[in-house]
Amino acid sequence: MVPTAWDTDRTGDNPLRLGLLRCDEIDERFRDLAPSALELYRWTFETDGVRLVDYDVLAGELPEDPDECDGWIITGSRASVYDDEPWIRTLSEAVSRLHDARAPIIGICFGHQLLAHALGGQTARSEQGWGIGAREFETRVEGLPSPVSLLMSHQDQVIELPPSARVLGSSEYCPNAIFAIDDHAVGVQGHPEFTPEYMAALLRSRTGRIGAEPVARALESLDRETHGREVAAWLVDFVRRARADVRPDD
């Protein structure tokens, strides 16, 4: 099934089409802050010349052809990649096919972990506990500040990288915060699409699970500068470069 791209007047005549492999939806309690998961990603990624094409993974929507879109974004999810769920297995198989075709792929949080999981790495519950709030990590790439700060909300981490992957960003608490594979796939543990307001609401709703003290510290961190827009722009550039390398005559 090939969904239809959202109409927008911001994308120009020949937009870069990014297929959004959407793995979750916004809780109804937070719809005043984020109407939908798709909207969060549109606000962040649909700059001039970029259009998102929505694929509802939980409803079985997956690409039939790697060239349906110019690149792919695997979103976050409240699920864990090691959960025994049919949709996770099916998504992993689809991501493996995209990788084999050298299609440009971006993984964000769960998507970052799924990318590693599907391609031979390993994800597990972190011994470091929850990573929440605005977190910094060092980067090793042009086009991003170092340290870079992103909003985080995760318990799981990539603990073993896939073959040929290399680390592009890390911290003591999250050694594999950004990784790339063969210059056409990249995973980012943080959430460039989150807003501080949405992050705050999410944290407060999870106080019982996480604990009052770590949530309070995470809420305080939301006053810091973060680099979600810069990371999103870098990810779009990554897709453009990957397409140029694989399809130089396009």
Catalytic residues: 109, 191, 193
Distance CA(236)–CA(14), nearest Å, equals: 15
- Beta-bridged to residue 139, according to DSSP, are 169
In the block, residue with structure tokens 């500040």: 145
Strands (E), 114-246: 122-125, 131-139, 148-154, 156-160, 165-170, 178-181, 185-188
CA distance 29 to 153: 17
Strand partners, 132: 153
What's the CA gap between 17 and 11, in Å, rounded? 9
What SS3 state is found at 136? strand
